[in-house]
């Protein structure tokens, strides 16, 4: 049985996240476990998820793979949380809202993308800058 869809395609926050994520070289979107995921071969971002150790759903959160150097600092920031399931693999989440700093969100997506993207996609990203 497939997972139920847990997002609204008309969500303006998803629209903005989708635009930023799909601007990365070779990035694609696939619905998995009822949520939009962004991939470049492997998954580098997900929209929405639960908080590890609780039943709290964060339907407007970005789940991402932080730069390992920055992970500890991000965890100290109250805006970030460890998500259910993927948190065990180093992922973090941040709730997105209308007043989110989208430059920061783009940096988080970029760092996450660089953790999984093949060298050719990273080279394309650097050549486009």
Per-residue pLDDT, averaged over 37-58, amounts to: 94
Q: Cα angle vertex 59, ends 79, 80, to 5°? A: 15
* CB under 8 A, 24+ apart: contacts of 74-81: 81/51, 81/52
Q: Which helix (H) or strand (E) holds 78?
A: none
Pair 46, 6: CB distance under 8 Å: no
Confidence of residue 129 (pLDDT cuts 50, 70, 90): confident
Tokens describing residue 48: 């929405």
Per-residue pLDDT, averaged over 30-50, amounts to: 97
Confidence of residue 71 (pLDDT cuts 50, 70, 90): very high
Q: Where are the domains of the chain?
A: 12-128
Per-residue pLDDT, averaged over 22-45, amounts to: 97
Query: Strands, E, within 26-102: which ranges?
Result: 28-32, 35-40, 42-50, 57-64, 80-81, 92-95
Alpha-carbon Rg of the chain, whole angstroms? 14
Tell me which of 3.40.50.720, 3.40.50.300, 3.90.1150.30, 3.30.590.10 is the CATH number of domain 12-128: 3.90.1150.30
Whether 106 has a pLDDT exceeding 80, the answer reads yes
């Amino acid at each position: 049985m497939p997972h139920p869809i847990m997002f609204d395609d008309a969500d303006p926050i998803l629209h903005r996240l989708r635009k930023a994520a799909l601007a990365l070289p070779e990035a694609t979107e696939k619905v998995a476990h009822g949520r939009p995921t962004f991939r470049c071969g492997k998954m580098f971002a997900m929209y929405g998820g639960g908080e590890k150790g609780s039943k709290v759903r964060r339907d407007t959160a970005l789940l991402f793979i932080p730069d390992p150097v920055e992970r500890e600092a991000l965890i100290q920031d109250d805006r970030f949380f460890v998500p259910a399931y993927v948190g065990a693999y180093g992922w973090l989440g941040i709730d997105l809202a209308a007043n989110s700093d989208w430059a920061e969100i783009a940096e988080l997506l970029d760092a996450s993308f660089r953790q999984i993207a093949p060298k050719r996609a990273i080279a394309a990203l650097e050549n486009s800058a």
